[in-house]
Copies of this chain bind each other. A is one copy, B any other.
Amino acid sequence: MMPDTLPVYPSLHPSLSTSSGDFIQIRSHTESICSPLAIEDHVVQPAPFISPPKWHLAHTSWFFDRFLLEPAGQGVAPGDSYHLMFNSYYKSQGAHWRQADRGCLSRPTVSEVMSYRQQVTEKVTELIRSGRATDSQQRIIALGVQHEKQHQELLLMDIKYIFAFHPQPLVYDRHSIPSGIDLSMPAHWVNFDEGLQQFGAPADHFAYDNERPRHPRWLCAFQLCSGLVTNEEYLRFIDDGAYRDPSLWLSDGWDWLQEQGTEHPLYWFRQEGAWQEYHAGGREDLALSLPVSHISYYEADAYARWAGARLPTEFELEHFLNNIPEPENSSRRGSHAFWKPGAAICPHPSRAADKYGNGLLWQWTQSPYTPFPGFTPEPGSVSEYNGKFMSGQYVLRGGCVATPEGHSRPSYRNFYRPLDRWAFTGIRLARDS
């Protein structure tokens, strides 16, 4: 995902269609994510990579307005300034407001944005119900729905950041305190043999174009750790002086450390000698058994080196996700059974996904984000710039607690810059067999 939204558009299966009920539910879910917010919380942008929640609410509406309603002569944006303000980065759609300045936009108000949302939702619902949507329009609708789901996760990321760094850390959901999570399976190495494997999305599933085409790759034999790295393990890394030892870090990572003065994960705070971690319910004592989260690629990579291991490639993880071994103490079956069940208005890695921790935190891979062999960008206006983020970023796999239901799959390629930490990121170790 990209800070400022993040298309990576799907190659829609021609028969794919969205029901009006699903559409309304998705739109409504976005709004419900913002329901605990005060009006003022919708406006602020405490870092250039954060977008004000209000902006997400408007941008996800603009997407349908610009790419679906306007071409059909049904556009509802009150004036050109909406295109300026709520276009994220589509150069083909004209000038767009600088991302780092989104927090300067006091207007439209939250109420005006909600009204804009309402109009867009109604017009699109009408079109769906009419049964007259063309194939191409159905594709745009399906794409817009996926796009909106990505922003649902971004909203949770951005709200967490806004709330956590307020001088008086705010509470998003007092009941989200970690509980019921069972990560008790002792970690062990899981073996995978070498061989030629297929990667990427199969033809009969929805997928973004960056997951395609499906193609073969040779995997050398490897091992993955059955669990994610925990806070307890990460604390040992810190206590061992790792943040002051250049031999553990990539050169760029070490420079980043020196410049930022970073000494711990993003949401850790020291309180009178003890570690606390911010989550949706406020700051709490660090839960040692939970997986470490909100770390940069540089930190994940340094941890792996310190631990005598390495990060997996994106293909090793995809292969794992496609061939998840059945834990002895589990009765789940099937390759998709491990995705967490419910909706996740819970910006904290607290809800179990599978016994291996998949679905809890996005897992950094050592694979830079590059095109698959034979990659072709999605045709048409919405996807004009499909591959343009394929430099300077790393792929993450596996989904997280903030990922909307149904928005994860083994071939899903999330991506961030190696210094980004506000996504729900974690570490799974790998090593050569």
Which of A39-47, A178-186, A320-328 has 4 or more CB atoms under 8 Å from chain B? Answer: A39-47
B residues within 8 A CB of A246?
91, 385
From 355 to 393 in chain A, residues with beta carbon under 8 angstroms from any chain B beta carbon are 366-368, 370-371, 373-374, 384-385, 387-392
Cβ B391 vs Cβ A253 within 8 A? yes
Q: Check A85/B388 contact, CB under 8 A, given A216-B218, A220-B374, A374-B432.
A: no
B residues within 8 A CB of A109?
38-40
Complex-state Cα separation, A44 to B52, whole angstroms: 11
Question: A67-97 CB contact bits vs B (8 Å, 1 = yes)?
Answer: 0000000000001010011000101100001
Copies held by the complex: 4
Check: A196 CB closer than 8 A to any chain B CB: yes
B residues within 8 A CB of A387?
250
Check: A418 CB closer than 8 A to any chain B CB: yes
Check: A162 CB closer than 8 A to any chain B CB: yes
B residues within 8 A CB of A167?
81, 84-85, 97, 105
Check: A19 CB closer than 8 A to any chain B CB: no
Check: A272 CB closer than 8 A to any chain B CB: no
Q: Check A104/B391 contact, CB under 8 A, given A39-B109, A218-B217, A432-B374.
A: no
B residues within 8 A CB of A166?
104-107
With a 10 A CB-CB cut-off, give which of A167, A168, A216 has the most chain B CB atoms: A167
Cβ B250 vs Cβ A107 within 8 A? no
Q: Smallest CB–CB gap between A42 and chain B, Å?
A: 8
Complex-state Cα separation, A103 to B246, whole angstroms: 25
Cβ A251 vs Cβ B388 within 8 A? yes
B residues within 8 A CB of A54?
40
Q: Check A385/B251 contact, CB under 8 A, given A81-B167, A373-B432.
A: yes
From 6 to 47 in chain A, residues with beta carbon under 8 angstroms from any chain B beta carbon are 38-46
Check: A165 CB closer than 8 A to any chain B CB: yes
Check: A145 CB closer than 8 A to any chain B CB: no
With a 10 A CB-CB cut-off, give which of A81, A105, A168, A251 has the most chain B CB atoms: A251
B residues within 8 A CB of A193?
none
Cβ B165 vs Cβ A104 within 8 A? yes
B residues within 8 A CB of A43?
40, 43-44, 106
Check: A110 CB closer than 8 A to any chain B CB: yes
Partner of A44, one of B103, B250, B367: B103
Partner of A220, one of B106, B310, B373: B373
Q: Check A89/B251 contact, CB under 8 A, given A105-B167, A392-B418.
A: yes
B residues within 8 A CB of A84?
167
B residues within 8 A CB of A310?
371
Question: A197-232 CB contact bits vs B (8 Å, 1 = yes)?
Answer: 000000000000000000111101010000000000
Q: List 23 A-B contacts (CB under 8 A).
A: A38-B106, A39-B39, A39-B109, A40-B40, A40-B42, A40-B43, A43-B44, A43-B106, A44-B103, A46-B101, A46-B104, A91-B246, A92-B247, A107-B168, A107-B170, A222-B373, A246-B385, A247-B384, A250-B387, A254-B388, A297-B391, A313-B373, A373-B432
Nearest 10 CB-CB pairings of A with B = A368-B368, A91-B246, A46-B104, A81-B168, A40-B106, A41-B106, A251-B388, A220-B373, A43-B43, A218-B218
List the interface of chain A (C-beta within 8 A of B): 38-46, 54, 79, 81, 84-85, 89, 91-92, 97, 101, 103-107, 109-110, 162, 165-168, 170, 196, 215-218, 220, 222, 246-247, 249-254, 297-298, 301, 310, 313, 366-368, 370-371, 373-374, 384-385, 387-392, 418, 432
5 further A-B pairs in the complex, CB-CB below 8 A; given A40-B43, A81-B168, A91-B246: A105-B167, A216-B218, A250-B387, A298-B391, A391-B418
